[in-house]
Amino acid sequence: MATASAQRVVVERLPKSRSLRLPPWEKITPLLLVSPSVILIAVFVYGFIGATIRTSLVRWNSALPDYTFVGLHNYQRLFQLERFQADLVNTVHFTAIFLAGCIVLGLGTAVLLDQRLRGTLFFQNVYMYPLALSFVVTGTVWRWILNPNSGVNVILDNLHLGFLKSGWLTDTHTALNSLGIAAVWQMSGFCMAMFLAGLRGIPEELREAARVDGANEWQLFWRITFPLLRPITLSAVIILGHISLKIFDLVYVMTFGGPGYATDMPSLYMWVATFAQFLYSRGAAIAVVLLLMVAVLIVPYLVWNLRGETEQ
């Protein structure tokens, strides 16, 4: 009897176990849905990255392709060029101005808007407005504003502050700083939005507890609020740093790298070398250097994020 009942249980369970198995078509369908995007990314992202690296290792320095392998010669020659050395220095200088300006202004305006005073919504929209513009539009407007014969200089003359007049975009000492001002004007609203969201996500109970313990507003900000905003600050630094390393359109519209190499950037030189001078291997080498610079900035952040998610 026991044997017969056991056989019946096995017989009854077999159809159930078979019914849990997915038909072949249901296994293939998800792969078919994902495969087009995987193929496109593989070809148009990683495939082109591979082709760029390959081009940077050959002698293609004319309109006609030349796939003679030269190894790292293009990179060695690139780092010996005075223009590219100036580009790297300009990138560091511009990034410092861009990051400092955006974070300081963004955090300051976010703290003010978090006070929920009258007109907060209006000023919040005003600060966010430049984000709706492209760098091309921003560059055009600021080129008019900083024109030595009009704009700011005329206002300074009318205010009898002519001693503050400058060449702005035509002076090698002020051109890069002027470029940074235009970039900060556009992107500081982005930082403001990030910091404002972070500030409004901090529980009010923490601030009240700190006030009860005798902390003043300055101590409350530096010991409670700002430490809680560190993840947002890091995200802003990564995003803005990524933008500054690849800046092209703003430089192209405002100065085209001038005067001299005062505002030249690697991305602009890459465009000039590739499409104006037909130095395809040099342009590809610059692109690979830019890729490595961005990777050095972003990869540690992605690893840190992934590690945080794994620990949670």
The structural domains of the chain, ordered by start, are 81-311 (1.10.3720.10)
Contact 247, 210 (CB under 8 A): no
How many secondary structure helices (H) and strands (E) does the chain include?
16, 0
pLDDT of residue 309: 67
Query: In terms of pLDDT, which residue wins out, 104 or 304?
Result: 104
Model pLDDT, residue 311:
67
Kindly report, residue by residue over 77-136, the tens digit of the pLDDT: 999 999 999 999 999 999 999 999 999 999 999 999 988 788 888 888 888 889 889 999
What pLDDT is stored for residue 264 in this prediction? 96
Residue 130 preceded by cis peptide, ω within 30: no
**Helices 73-80 and 82-113, packing angle to 10 deg:** 70
Three-state secondary-structure class, residue 58:
strand
Q: Which of 5-14, 74-83, 174-183, 273-282 has the lowest mean pLDDT?
A: 5-14
User: Do you know the residue count of the chain?
Assistant: 312
pLDDT in tens, 8-44: 444 445 454 444 565 677 778 888 888 899 999 999 9
- Axis crossing angle, helix 175-200 with helix 120-128, rounded to the nearest 10: 140
Coil/strand/helix, residue 69: strand
- Most confident of the ranges 23-32, 229-238, 274-283: 274-283
Mean pLDDT, the chain, integer: 87
Radius of gyration for the alpha carbons in the chain, expressed in angstroms and rounded: 28
- If one counts every other C-beta atom within 10 angstroms of the C-beta of residue 130, the result is 18
Confidence of residue 298 (pLDDT cuts 50, 70, 90): confident
pLDDT (0 to 100) of residue 51: 95
Find residue 290's DSSP bridge partners. Answer: none
Question: Residue 9: its pLDDT value, please?
Answer: 46
More confident residue, 244 or 219: 244
Higher pLDDT, 215 or 175: 175
Q: Which residues contact 219 (CB under 8 A, 6 or more apart)?
A: 210
| Higher pLDDT, residue 105 or 306 | 105
Residue 180: is its pLDDT beyond 50?
yes
Q: For residues 194 and 236, is the Cβ–Cβ distance under 8 A? A: yes
Range scoring the smallest mean pLDDT among 160-164, 242-246, 276-280, 301-305: 301-305
Q: Where residue 250 falls among pLDDT bands split at 50, 70, 90?
A: very high
Buried b (16+ CB within 10 A) or exposed e, 149-174: eebbbeeeeeeeeeeeebebbbeeeb
